[in-house]
Structure 1
């Protein structure tokens, strides 16, 4: 324990990493009243999440009063200072990190040097991720693996911070850009899961949308219902595979059909040719790759 904290604990990452995202250290503390850090500059990113009490954070010519549920972010090269409240000094956890994608990741969750406080997070769930980060560093024989694990928990922590409650965001109607994003999510799901048995219910449940709403916005954006779009993906991929040495059975299985005969009928209906005929035609044109 340091003399300016009633409680202080920190875990250090012993592994020096040059990865996209790497934790340097993480800790927890209860500073004494009016405990102050700065003005100073760090050469790494540092996030503090407040679990109780309050204080003030300053950076980039802005002053932020902070309390439970707030997280303030110190950026490398930015002059900062922060001080605990005189009556209710804060209790917080922190994590320091570096990495090539660190700045971009923070931007993606809505943070920046000009907007360096995220409010509305759940202290209990956030604290869980901090504990998991600190528990990674047990001075084992595999520090590089500990570094990878800690980075994983840091990503989950940042994801949780991005979930901060904002009633205005929750209640406003979806804009065109938001609808495009939702449709893009659905398209991406179908492009990655077309080899599996996919249903509308499963797709809607996975993405968190109502089935009717998903189908409506998907068709408005693409001109096709989700299952029609999935069928198109499967058939386009089947065409590519039929230009290789794979058997029709293997092609069918590779595009999500357990029954090769049923696949052949569907492919014929879609392309106008049976799979074997399509293959011969492509081979005669010199595009057969196997």
Structure 2
């Protein structure tokens, strides 16, 4: 069994997609850039990963969370996983943009630190050249080797370092604050740290709230405002990401993997895993990666590697 990773290189479109999600903390899943055609529209749809776009030139429109945003050069916009959105290039001055898609346990923290949230999904950036260089280098590292995988994820971290530095500088200049100013942020941070340390143990959200010293409803509402999901969803995602790493990188039995991530019942673990990944733990472990190189967007594969 195999799965494909696509690489497309064309004068107006360059993209790397369907990357293996092996890094638990922060992992690149796709990246690219495109000179969009007049009026080109994508969506509405929902993503499985975060996707962050940066507009290099031209104009376009984003609709997300029932709001429309008119965007231009140096605007960046975030679409969180599970959130419906669409975006469209201007008919007179269609935009050229670049993007990164990513998942991982630190994804929420990176997004917040870079100044993005569902409430504030767009902002101006002053680090365009750095981000453009990092994405170009990601695209160059498109082979299936472990070295290229490490290179892509290292460049993803450099992207967020640039975004965070830029946001901190802008916030200091205009007096704005990030989500860290929200009163419940400190509780959410404690809850996330506790779950990362104890995900392999039986863990109930009510008990977690008691441990932190707040009620469950306040923890849940704070989590949704800061992270974009409930504490239970975060815990399940955490366990599944850990399980995926164990399945790919160890020879542990499925039952042992389930126990290692807090599931005493292998059947229950397999059911949750399939709901999140679209395949059983055994199928996920057995699938192999295959690189497909294409001449242009939407073209038939040119070669396999």
Displacement of 1:126: 1.9
By how many angstroms is 1:165 displaced? 8.5
Deviations 1:195-241 (A, max 9, x none): xxxxxxxxxxxxxxxxxxxxxxxxxxxxxxxxxxxxxxxxxxxxxxx
What CA RMSD, in Å, does the superposition of the two structures yield over aligned residues?
2.5
Structure 1 residues 14, 113: closer, same or farther in 2, change over 3 A?
closer
Matched, 1:169 2:177: no
Hey, what does 2:155 align to over in structure 1? 153
**Residues 120 and 165, structure 1, Cα contact 8 Å, conserved in 2:** no
Structure 1's unaligned 5+ residue stretches are: 178-290
Counterparts of 1:160 and 1:167 in 2: how far apart (Å)? 12
| TM-score after normalising by structure 2 | 0.50
Q: Distance in 2 between matches of 1:105 and 1:118?
A: 15
Say whether 1:15 aligns with 2:20: yes
Which of 32, 37, 40 matches 1:27? 32
Asked if structure 2 preserves the Cα contact closer than 8 Å seen for 1:126 and 1:160, the reply is yes
Query: What SS does the aligned partner of 1:151 have?
Result: helix
For 2:143, the equivalent position in structure 1 comes to 138
Following superposition, the deviation at residue 18 of structure 1 comes to 4.5
Structure 2 CA distance for partners of 1:62 and 1:136, relative to 1, 3 Å: same
Partner Cα distance (2:28, 2:154) in 1:
10
Count residues with an aligned counterpart.
Answer: 167
Contact 1:22 1:147 (8 Å CA) reproduced: no
Distance 1:49 1:168, change over 3 A: closer
Q: The residue matched to 1:154 in structure 2 has which SS?
A: helix
Deviations 1:94-120 (A, max 9, x none): 111111111121112221111111213
Rounded Cα–Cα distance in structure 2 between residues aligned with 1:60 and 1:71: 16
Residues 13, 137 of structure 1: 8 Å contact kept: no
Cα distance in 2 for partners of 1:133, 1:154 equals 8
Q: Secondary structure at the match of 2:12?
A: strand
TM-score, normalising length: structure 1: 0.53
Greater shift in the superposed pair: 69-78 or 110-119:
110-119
Aligned residue for 1:265?
A: none
1:54 aligns with 2:25: no
Higher relative contact order (CA 8 A, sep 6+): 2
* Counterparts of 1:145 and 1:70, CA distance in 2: 32
Question: Closer, same or farther in 2 for the Cα pair 1:72/1:14, shift >3 Å?
Answer: closer
- For 2:36 and 2:64, how far apart are their aligned partners in 1? 20
Answer yes or no: is the 8 Å Cα contact 1:35–1:83 preserved in 2. Answer: yes
Closer, same or farther in 2 for the Cα pair 1:7/1:77, shift >3 Å?
A: same
Q: Report the counterpart of residue 180 of structure 1 in structure 2.
A: none
2:38 is aligned with 1:37: no
Consecutive unaligned residues in structure 2, runs of 5 or more: 1-9, 181-305
